[in-house]
Structure 1
Amino acid sequence: MVAMAMAKVTTRPAGDADVDAAVEVLRRSITELCVADHQNDPETLAEWLANKTPEQFRRWLAKPGLRTLVAEREGRVCGVGMLSADGVLHLCYVHPDHLRRGVGRALLVALENHARGLGLERVTLDATTTAVKFYEAFNYRCAGASKRGFGVTACRAYAKALERRHRR
């Protein structure tokens, strides 16, 4: 049996043409991949998805200080990430059809590199139960107690010290 090569994942800044695909990634990822968090509770899902709309995504794109990226594979948007200028990771979502194929890693690396370019020394985030193992695999460490998220969800503060990349 011959192993098929996995299509390369690329990242780039999100634009107006990406809005619908990016919102689909966010909504499907939350609905389908974050069940351990929302527990299929309708009120929790409604609260979590309330701002995952094309209108809100356009507002994020226009907001100074937010770096919003999409990940693509074979020309299709398969992930969305967002980092604010103060080093807070707000979004890192992968389309369910592209899970465990390097999409999350590509987004995280690109956003961490952006943070380094801003001169930041660390990235912080609130990790859901679903995402904890992913972030820990990339050297994020717990930085605080659990706190209430959307509805029945809980989040835990995580942080990562950024190493400076040395140029040769």
Structure 2
Amino acid sequence: MLSNTEVLLRVAERDGTVVAVGAVNRSGEVTLNYVAPEARFAGISKALLAQLETELVTLGFHEGRLEATQTARRFYEKAGWLAEGPQATGRVVNGFPMRKRLVR
């Protein structure tokens, strides 16, 4: 059971199996957008990201933020997200900060 009122979590299922998980927080950040390897390149991550962006708009945000991995960076750029500074440092996974103006 998950219980955190600061995070809104979404899952995507295919044939009764969870194949993707995404989350936003109440600070206006996409904190998770993961798709299982066997479900990649089926449009699931793109649809999940659109849902997460809608969640942010519903929460009242005009702009969203996230930190992309090197692998996911191009995916987010294609979805309209822009680089917002240098790569993070000092962590196990040092992501790239990104932002996107959200349409109401």
- Shorter-chain TM-score bucket reads over 0.9
1: CA distance between counterparts of 2:96 and 2:9?
22
The residue type equivalent to 2:100 in the other structure is K
The partner residue of 2:27 within 86, 90, 97 is 86
Query: 1:74 aligns to what?
Result: 15
Count the aligned residue pairs.
104
Higher strand share: 2
Runs of 4+ in structure 1 deviating by more than 4 angstroms, as ranges, are none
- Once the two structures are superposed, what CA deviation does each residue of 1:54-110 show, in whole Å capped at 9, x if it has no partner? xxxxxxx30112101111122211000010011111110000000010110121011
Query: 2:102 aligns to what?
Result: 162
Query: 1:26 aligns to what?
Result: none
SS of residue matched to 1:146:
coil
Two-structure CA RMSD over aligned residues (Å): 1.3
Query: 2:52 aligns to what?
Result: 111
Identity between Structure 1 and Structure 2 (%): 34
The residue type equivalent to 1:119 in the other structure is G
How far 1:155 sits from its partner (Å)? 1.2
Select the structure with the greater relative contact order (CA < 8 A; seq sep ≥ 6): 1
Higher helix share: 1
2: CA distance between counterparts of 1:155 and 1:69?
22
Q: Structure 1: state its 5+ residue gaps.
A: 1-15, 17-60
1:65 matched to 2:6? The reply is yes
TM norm structure 1: 0.59
TM norm structure 2: 0.93
